[in-house]
Amino acid sequence: MCGILAVLGCSDDSQAKRVRVLELSRRLKHRGPDWSGLHQHGDCYLAHQRLAIVDPASGDQPLFNEDKTVVVTVNGEIYNHEELRKQLPNHKFRTGSDCDVIAHLYEEHGENFVDMLDGIFSFVLLDTRDNSFIVARDAIGVTSLYIGWGLDGSVWISSEMKGLNDDCEHFECFPPGHLYSSRERAFRRWYNPPWFSEAIPSAPYDPLALRHAFEKAVIKRLMTDVPFGVLLSGGLDSSLVASITSRYLATTKAAEQWGSKLHSFCVGLEGSPDLKAAKEVADYLGTVHHEFHFTVQDGIDAIEDVIYHIETYDVTTIRASTPMFLMSRKIKSLGVKWVISGEGSDEIFGGYLYFHKAPNKEEFHQETCRKIKALHQYDCLRANKSTFAWGLEARVPFLDKEFINVAMNIDPEWKMIKREEGRIEKWVLRRAFDDEEKPYLPKHILYRQKEQFSDGVGYSWIDGLKDHAAKHVTDKMMLNAGNIFPHNTPTTKEAYYYRMIFERFFPQNSAVLTVPGGASVACSTAKAVEWDASWSKNLDPSGRAALGVHMSAYDEKANSVSKAAEFEKIIPMESSHVGVAIQS
């Protein structure tokens, strides 16, 4: 993927404007250090900073149709590009890039082709025949994108806020799953899955269907012409991703180029839960494992850089982004250009510990819907920007469109946490990969309790952040917080500290409004705080804030694991189907 910047209809085609666009595009160079490009058509500019992953030799951008009347700058990966090319037999492609199909699909289908793309993407398409343009962002918002408006009537598009914040009168996050058309001068939602309405689904739980859908999501993301690896924290989600990748890597084209030995990466403080668990999983899977240590001081020293790159003042996101930011630099130094990661599972399956308190299946399901819709402001933003700060791409199979449809169509009664029946958080996912004959993971890893990334790298990390913030934010400063920061007023010294740094980099009111707010406990939405009256007095985003839940669900861990076997009587697992490769 890459970094894109577009300035459209700025009524200025001067050399000075071109120089300014180039200057702003360079602010995104960390996203695409391999090559840069700029196409100008009158007063429209499309700039690109490329991270070359598929067809690194000829896939430079912007991309064009045959006669160069349609121009595209895109940040993305289109996993079904080979199938789409077959549907365009009368078109001539200039490159082998997966994104080359976009201009040609537009020629065939007009603006109504976006749902045909299976992948993650943000793009700007300019039709020079009438100077119209469209902008689109992927379904969940895995890729980051912003839109802004200039006083001269121009429309600005950028992968990151820093590419447009100084030149726009107003800017905001480009909504995921939407398309903006210059002909209509309006947004419209192109992504309309059944779950989006939050209606309660009723499909029975089929563990094999869930397993196969996720395996397919992982396998399709192994499309690459460059070295890659997997982020492995030792928790359920990243361990499943690593297990599936390891199991099927040898059958892919990637293995022909780079070998079938998978590289895994983990970061943490010395002695942290993640380091120990990740090493155990890596040994079990036989990966080439790379373990990176950082100190609390290393993390604190990086906070300003993290906030500049992540472009948020949200406490949870900054806590979790910092270790990922530090690890990404180490990974890139080894020559790896992209990684596969486990974001999205907790939102889809109700994996956060506060879901233990969901009062019924209706509220459980609606909370998962709210969490998925907000991912672009939290975990997707973290995964995208903390890796791209060093020119590293993160791919997230749990947020595959097809997989989400399968997982969100399950009757949420199956996802409910019922300790008395041995059903812990994300039980439906754990059960789907609980294979006695050909195990994906050791039992105790498959049933390991959820640790938020910022907790799992070492509990002293969060405590160290709080102590550091307390040294820089006084009680007197907190008394005036509401006057200085009237929107999303920080309620802790840690939040105040991050907010000060953020507004130094991004002082515009539009920037402040791009960051979500509201009450939260253990990563919940504000609505879910209502599930437990005691939570309103303990609004901390750490998983440890779910008082009475963290570790308590594992008082009888062995018993919980053994009880899962009882459900085989209800949902038989056919061993003959286990481990069947899914064709991508």
DSSP of 148-193:
EE-TTS-EEEESSGGGTTTT-SEEEEPPTTEEEETTTTEEEE----
Q: Does residue 558 carry a pLDDT above 50?
A: no
Cα 11 to its chain centre, rounded Å, is 36
Instruction: Specify the pLDDT at position 557.
Output: 38
Report residue 203: phi and psi, to 5°: -65, 140
Which residues are part of a known binding site? 98, 231, 267, 341-342
Mean pLDDT across 397-403: 98
Residue 64 DSSP code: E
Mean pLDDT of 440-467: 80
- The 10s digit of each residue's pLDDT in 132-149 is 999 999 999 999 999 999
Q: Which helix (H) or strand (E) holds 236?
A: helix 236-248
Closest by Cα among 542, 533, 528, 548 to 419: 548
Feature table: binding site for ATP: 231, 267, 341-342
Residue 54 has what pLDDT? 72
Q: What is the architecture of the domain spanning 194-458+494-531?
A: 3-Layer(aba) Sandwich (3.40)
The answer to whether residue 578 scores a pLDDT higher than 50 is no
Radius of gyration (C-alpha) of the chain in whole angstroms? 23
Query: Kind of pairing, strands 170-173 and 393-395?
Result: unpaired
Instruction: Report pLDDT digits (tens) over 165-216.
Output: 999 999 999 999 999 999 999 999 999 999 999 999 999 999 999 999 999 9
Residue ranges in 413-544 assigned as alpha helix (H): 427-432, 443-446, 453-456, 459-472, 475-479, 481-484, 493-505, 509-513
The token duo for 202 is 């009723």
Specify the CATH class of 1-191 in words.
alpha beta
Region of 579 (left: φ > 0; alpha: ψ -120 to 50; beta: rest) is left
Q: Look up the pTM and report it.
A: 0.91
List the catalytic residue out of 2, 10, 168, 266: 2
In whole angstroms, what is the distance from residue 406 CA to residue 423 CA? 20
Cβ neighbour number for residue 476 with a 10 Å cutoff: 7
Residue list for the binding site for L-glutamine: 98
Q: Which two tokens stand for residue 569?
A: 């009587």
Same fold, 1-191 and 194-458+494-531: no
* Predicted local distance difference test score (pLDDT) of residue 458: 63
Three-class DSSP category at 78:
strand
Q: Tell me the mean pLDDT in the region 291-316.
A: 97
- Average of per-residue pLDDT across 118-123: 97
Question: What distances in angstroms separate CA 370 from CA 207, 350, 375, 376, one per listed residue?
Answer: 24, 11, 9, 12
Q: Based on the residue annotation, tell me whether 2 is a catalytic residue of this protein.
A: yes
Residue 576 has a pLDDT of 29
Domain layout of the chain by residue ranges:
1-191, 194-458+494-531
CA separation, residue 353 to residues 234, 376, 439 (Å) = 17, 21, 26
Structure-token match 């947020």, residue found: 399
Nearest CA-CA partner of 258 in 282, 226, 221, 232: 226
